[in-house]
Amino acid sequence: MKKRRVPRMNEQESAAWLGLTTVFSLLPSALDRQLQRDSGLTHFEFVVLSTLQLSPEPTMRMTTLAQATDATLPRLSHVVGRLEKRRLVARSTCPEDRRATNVGLTGDGRRVLIRSVPGHIATARRLVIDALTPEQLDALTEITGAIGAKLAEESGDPPPESLSSPARKSSGPKTS
Amino acid sequence: MKKRRVPRMNEQESAAWLGLTTVFSLLPSALDRQLQRDSGLTHFEFVVLSTLQLSPEPTMRMTTLAQATDATLPRLSHVVGRLEKRRLVARSTCPEDRRATNVGLTGDGRRVLIRSVPGHIATARRLVIDALTPEQLDALTEITGAIGAKLAEESGDPPPESLSSPARKSSGPKTS
DNA sequence: ACCGTTTGGTTGACGCGACAAGTAATCGGT
DNA sequence: ACCGATTACTTGTCGCGTCAACCAAACGGT
């Protein structure tokens, strides 16, 4: 048991943390509700369909799709299964590697997605974008980027400069 | 169906939005994992215990606790039920209003909470606080505050000036 | 050519949260 | 004093995500 001495946060820090956790607990559900109500889609289903449509190829491998959407493979498998029952996507065994599965958007899927986009963007705008000044938008991009970097280096390997130093687990490079 | 004309986001906006959604999908689970691993607590259970301890009174009503933790009553009821089985909280019928239930921290609960705090703060620090400059912390506070305000006025009643107009349920105030 | 290993994905069981329905106590009107 | 309405919770059911176990195809060494 190493007491790391991280006693408590100062006021500035706890204000930011409190704000973050509050938004965390409220925003995702608000987003989900709107999408569910207007289009019958979960936010994650929306992300899956969007990712498929943005792909240059007409189909994607399950694993690739899972990585692109930050999902575990079982989760993706379940969701794709449901979407397939609703005829929004189609699965087919990859001919080159018969273990793999290719997923593609159906016509219905594309239509449903396209119809759901405006409402979703409108909600995003209403709840977030319109609430912020351009400077705050830039700040938000930087902030989320910084947090995202920490998260990436935490779980998994650090995307940048992974070949220079072999798996150092702690340390703060502090390249700011 | 009123086409609201919310065409698409410019690059600045979509960058911020993308960053936000990414952090959204990763940070909560990271937080939960750490807490679960080190203390056997869900993040929400942690919030419940913390709220109870911060309360000036030794016990809280279920409804009050639900509001304080942004939870629905059924959810809270389930969670408190589990926590009670683990002897971390205790329920008792309120003597003044026998419909109501008072929840209080037990000694075990207090101990578990206290032991879990440092690790949680350390994680918060590691993933978020340390990733940001003081200016970014302030910016984050403002940003989350602005979003939180939008969320509040969206679902439920707008916190400011609620007494001027009596409970209007539908309608779009459209005060933009 | 064969068998162990690794890769790619699916399936089943459990836990948690949302929603709806139910119960019990209190309030309020007549 | 009584009965409907409201309040404060609880309980049951369902959907989704996670974890573990599983199966099948491809690789790789000998």
Q: What is the mean pLDDT of chain B?
A: 87
* Mean pLDDT across A154-169: 46
The strand ranges marked E within B57-142 are 59-61, 89-93, 101-105
Q: pLDDT value at position A8? A: 80
- Of A68 and B153, the structure prediction assigns the larger pLDDT to A68
- Of B101 and A171, the structure prediction assigns the larger pLDDT to B101
> Does the CB of A95 sit below 7 A from strand D?
no
Q: pLDDT value at position A161? A: 40
> Does the CB of A77 sit below 7 A from strand C?
yes
pLDDT-wise least confident of A67-81, A138-152, B111-125, B143-157: B143-157
* Mean pLDDT across A86-115: 97
- Using pLDDT thresholds of 50, 70 and 90, give the confidence band for residue B60: very high
pLDDT-wise least confident of A71-85, A100-114, B140-154: B140-154
pLDDT-wise least confident of A1-10, A117-126, B82-91, B141-150: A1-10
Q: How far is CA B129 from CA A8, A13, B126, B168, in A?
A: 12, 7, 6, 41
Q: pLDDT value at position B6? A: 66
> Does the CB of A126 sit below 7 A from strand D?
no
Residue B174 has pLDDT above 50, yes or no: no
Sheet of B59-61: strand order equals B59-61, B101-105, B89-93
- Using pLDDT thresholds of 50, 70 and 90, give the confidence band for residue A3: low
- Using pLDDT thresholds of 50, 70 and 90, give the confidence band for residue B2: low
Residue B116 has pLDDT above 80, yes or no: yes
Cβ-Cβ contacts under 8 Å, A147 against chain B:
23, 27, 127-128, 131-132
> Where does residue A170 rank: exposed (0-12), middle (13-18), buried (19+ CB within 10 A)?
exposed
Residue A158 has pLDDT above 80, yes or no: no
Q: What is the full DSSP assignment across A42-58?
A: -HHHHHHHHHHHHSSSS
Q: pLDDT value at position A18? A: 93
Q: Do residue A144 and residue B70 have CB atoms under 8 angstroms apart?
A: no
Per residue in A33-48, pLDDT (tens digit) is 999 999 999 999 999 9
Cβ-Cβ contacts under 8 Å, A172 against chain B:
130
In strand C, the nucleotides that come within 7 Å of a protein beta carbon are 7-12, 16-21, 24-27
Q: pLDDT value at position B5? A: 64
Domains and CATH numbers, chain A: 30-117 (1.10.10.10)
The radius of gyration of chain B from alpha carbons, rounded to an integer in Å, stands at: 20
Q: pLDDT value at position A71? A: 96
The single-letter DSSP state of residue B92 is E
- Of B169 and A147, the structure prediction assigns the larger pLDDT to A147
Q: Which of B27, B144, B154, B176 has the highest number of chain A CBs within 10 A, making it the mutation to test binding with A?
A: B144
What percentage of chain B exceeds 70 in pLDDT?
Answer: 84
- Using pLDDT thresholds of 50, 70 and 90, give the confidence band for residue A156: low
The answer to whether the beta carbons of residues B28 and A20 sit under 8 Å apart is no
What percentage of chain A exceeds 70 in pLDDT?
Answer: 84
Residues in chain B: 176
Q: How many Cβ pairs within 8 Å bridge chains A and B?
A: 170
Residue A169 has pLDDT above 50, yes or no: no
Residue A70 has pLDDT above 60, yes or no: yes
* Mean pLDDT across B16-33: 93
Q: Do residue B146 and residue A125 have CB atoms under 8 angstroms apart?
A: no
3-state secondary structure (DSSP) of residue B60: strand
- Of A118 and B168, the structure prediction assigns the larger pLDDT to A118
Q: pLDDT value at position B3? A: 60
* Mean pLDDT across A152-169: 50
Q: pLDDT value at position B153? A: 81
